[in-house]
Amino acid sequence: MAEETIFSKIIRKEIPTTLLYQDELVTAFRDINPRAKTHILIIPNKLIPTVNDVEADDELTMGRMFTVAKKLAKEEGIDENGYRLIVNCKAHGGQEVYHIHMHLVGGAPLGPMLMN
C-alpha cells in the first residue's frame, strides 16, 4: 500500500487550499511554489505514487486529468497562446511528491523544455 502524501489531505480538505476543480476522480489546485504565472496541479483522488504504478483501470482517471487541464487552461485564459503539461516520474524525472500529479503551467513563454 502506498503511503499517503500531503495531496491526500488536500483531496479530503484537511489542509485548506482553494480547489479549482474536484470531482470523483481528480482534484486541482494552485501550486504553492509556482514556476509560471499559471501553475496548477491536477491530481488523481486515488493515490497512485508514480507513472510506473498506473494500471489499466486508471485510464479513465488519467484521461480526466487531461480534460480538466484543458478546462482550466481555458478558464485561466492560457488556452489560445498555449501551455505545458508536465508529469514527472521518480527521482531522475524530478518527482518530489509520490502521488502522481500533472503540472499545468503557462501564462507567458516557457522557453525550452529541458535545460542543460
Selecting among 39, 99, 101, 103, the annotated active-site residue is 101
Locate the DSSP E strands across the chain: 19-22, 26-30, 38-44, 83-86, 102-106
- Residue 69 burial class via C-beta count within 10 angstroms: exposed 0-12, middle 13-18, buried 19 and up: buried
Computed over its alpha carbons, how large is the radius of gyration of the chain?
14
101 is catalytic: yes
4: CB partners within 8 A, 6+ apart? 47
| Distance between CA atoms of residues 92 and 96, nearest Å | 10
Return the SS3 of 54. Answer: coil
Name the residues annotated as catalytic: 101
